[in-house]
Structure 1
Amino acid sequence: MGIREEMPLLARHEGVWDGVYTYYNATGEQIDQHRSRLFCRFKEGSEHPYHQTNYYSWDDGRTDIRDFPATYADKRVWWDNDLIKGWAAEVGLDQYNRTVMLYWQRQGDPSLYLYEMIQLSDDGTSRCRTWHWIRNGQLETRTAIQEKLVSRDWAAMEKEMEARSA
C-alpha cells in the first residue's frame, strides 16, 4: 500500500490552496499577516511521494517561496530539509476524519518547535490550520491559517505558473 491508501485524509488535501496566514504573539497581539498559495502534490513511486511548495506574499510587496519535499514511512510524511525536520500524521482518534497533526523543529534552533493541527471541511474545499510555536517550553507564537481549495489539478496550475514566468 502507498501513501494515498494509508493516509486517505491527507490525500484529500491534494491540490492548490489559497489562504491567509495570521501570526499572533504569546499575548494575542497580531504581529504579521500574509497571503499564500500552496501546492500539495502526491507523486507515488517518487523519492518524495509528498511535495509541498508554499508561495507567500505580503501587502508591502515582499514574497517568499518555501519548498518541502517529503518522504513517507510508517503512516507518516517525514520532512528533513534545510529549514525543518518533522512529520505529519492523520489523527486516528478523530472519528470524523478531519484532523491531521504535524510536528516540526527548525533546523539549527533546537529551542524552537511547532505543532500544527489541520482541520479539513467535510466537503474538502476549505481548511483551517493552527500552529503553536513553542520555545524552551513556552508558547512564543500562534499562527491561524484559513484556506480555500483553488484546484485539485496542481500539475496544470504549475504549468500555467511556469508559462507566465518564462
Structure 2
Amino acid sequence: MGIREDMPILARHEGVWDGVYTYYNAAGEQIDEHKSRLFCRFPDDGTHPYHQTNHYTWPDGRTEVREFPAEYRDKRVWWDNDLIVGWAAEVGLDQYNRTVMLYWQRKGDPSLYLYEMIQISDDGQSRCRTWHWIRNGLLETRTAIQETLVSKDWRAVEADMAASAG
C-alpha cells in the first residue's frame, strides 16, 4: 500500500490552503501573526511521496517560503531537512477520522521541540492547527492556525502562480 491508502486522513489535506498563523507566548499574549498559503502535495514523480511548500506574508511586507519534502515509511511521513527533523502520523483513536499529529525538533536546538495537532473539517474545506513549542520541558509558545481550502488542484494553482510571475 502507498501513502494515500495508508494515510487517508492526510490524503484529504492535498491541495492549496490559505490561512493565518497567530503566535502567543506562554502568558497567552499575541507575539506574531502572518498570512500563509500552503501547498500540500502527493507528487507523482516519486522523488518524495509528500512535499509541502509554505508561503508566509507579514503585514510589513516580509515574505518567506519554506520547503518540506518528506519520506514515507511505517505509516508516517518523516522530515529531515536543514530546518527540522520529525514525523506526522494519523491519530487512530479519533473515530471521526479528522486528526493528524506531528512532532518535530528544530535542527541545532535540541532543547526545543514541537507537537502539532491538525483537525480537518468533515467537508474538507477548512482545518485548524495548533502547535505547542516546548523548551526544556516548559511551554514557550503556542501557534494557532486557521485555514481554508483554496483548491484541491495544486498543480493548476502552481501553474497560475508561475504564469503570473513570468
Fold in common (TM above 0.5): yes
Q: Does 1:15 find its partner at 2:33?
A: no
Backbone CA RMSD of aligned residues: 0.7
Kept in 2, the 8 Å contact 1:3–1:44? The answer is no
Q: Which runs of 5+ in 1 are unaligned?
A: none
Secondary structure, aligned partner of 2:23 = strand
The reply on whether 1:42 has 2:42 as its aligned counterpart is yes
What CA deviation, in whole Å up to 9, does each residue of 1:94-115 have, x standing for no partner?
Answer: 0000000000000010000000
| % identical equivalent positions | 80
- The residue identity in structure 2 corresponding to 1:157 is V
Alignment TM-score, normalising by the size of structure 1: 0.99
- Deviation of 1:46 after TM superposition, in Å, equals 1.0
Deviation at 1:165, TM superposition (A): 1.2
For the 8 Å contact 1:50–1:70, the answer to whether it is kept is yes
Task: Could you tell me which runs of 5 or more consecutive residues in structure 2 were left unpaired when the two chains were aligned.
Answer: none
Query: Within 5 A, what are the aligned runs for 1:47-62?
Result: 47-62=47-62
- Aligned residue type for 1:107: K
1:144 alignment counterpart: 144
* Distance in structure 1 (CA, Å) of the matches to 2:165 and 2:139: 40
Count of equivalent residues: 166
Q: Shift in Å at residue 11 of structure 1?
A: 0.1
The 5-angstrom pairing of residues 89-104 of structure 1 reads: 89-104=89-104
TM-score (normalizing by structure 2): 0.99
Would the alpha carbon gap of residues 81 and 65 (structure 1) be closer, same or farther in structure 2, given more than 3 Å must change? same
Q: Which runs of 4+ in 1 moved over 2 A?
A: none
**1:95-154 deviation line (CA, Å, top 9, x unaligned):** 000000000000010000000000000000000000000001000000000000000000
Residue in structure 2 matched with residue 25 of structure 1 by the alignment: 25
Partner amino acid, structure 1, of 2:13? H
